[in-house]
């Protein structure tokens, strides 16, 4: 996928997130926002997977079931982490960066829906490989 295609995928995903936030605002559980976002992305015709396992490779050994999971994977390229927190901590952004590195994906979005204006809850990270 080209950089332009990946950016377009992120834009479409953010459009869906804005529609959901406009409808509900802050205050719901993370699982509710995740379900709505998955529904909206499917409705847009996008390939969406949820709870995608992220294995760790350590000394050439793939450790598959270590508990890491990508909330939403769009188009098999875009990593989405959904949060509904009072504040995003550095560890949440580190989690997104780790998922990008471990899964060899280039672009990730952390979306914190528990904000008055969604633009204040969007964090974009790029994996430079």
DSSP element (H, E) containing 17: helix 3-24
Q: Which residues of 40-56 are buried (b: 16+ CB within 10 A; e: fewer)?
A: bbeeeebebeeebebee
Instruction: Identify the pLDDT of residue 90.
Output: 96
Instruction: Identify the pLDDT of residue 57.
Output: 84
Report the distance separating Cα 65 and Cα 29, nearest Å: 26
Report the distance separating Cα 55 and Cα 61, nearest Å: 10
Domains of the chain: 3-126 (3.40.1350)
Instruction: Identify the pLDDT of residue 66.
Output: 78
Instruction: Identify the pLDDT of residue 129.
Output: 53
3-state secondary structure of 3: helix
Instruction: Identify the pLDDT of residue 22.
Output: 98
Instruction: Check residue 92 and give left, alpha or beta (phi > 0: left; psi -120 to 50: alpha).
Output: alpha
Low-confidence ranges of the chain (pLDDT < 50): none
């Amino acid at each position: 996928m080209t950089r332009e295609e990946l950016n377009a995928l992120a834009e479409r995903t953010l459009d869906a997130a804005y529609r959901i936030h406009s409808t509900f605002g802050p205050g719901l559980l993370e699982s509710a926002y995740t379900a709505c976002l998955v529904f909206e992305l499917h409705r847009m015709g996008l390939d969406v997977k949820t709870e995608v396992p992220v294995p760790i490779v350590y000394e050439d050994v793939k450790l598959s079931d270590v508990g890491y999971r990508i909330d939403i994977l769009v188009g098999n390229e875009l990593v989405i982490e959904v949060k509904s927190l009072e504040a995003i901590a550095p560890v949440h952004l580190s989690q997104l960066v780790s998922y990008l590195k471990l899964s060899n994906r280039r672009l990730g979005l952390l979306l914190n829906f528990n904000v008055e204006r969604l633009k204040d809850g969007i964090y974009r990270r790029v994996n430079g490989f």
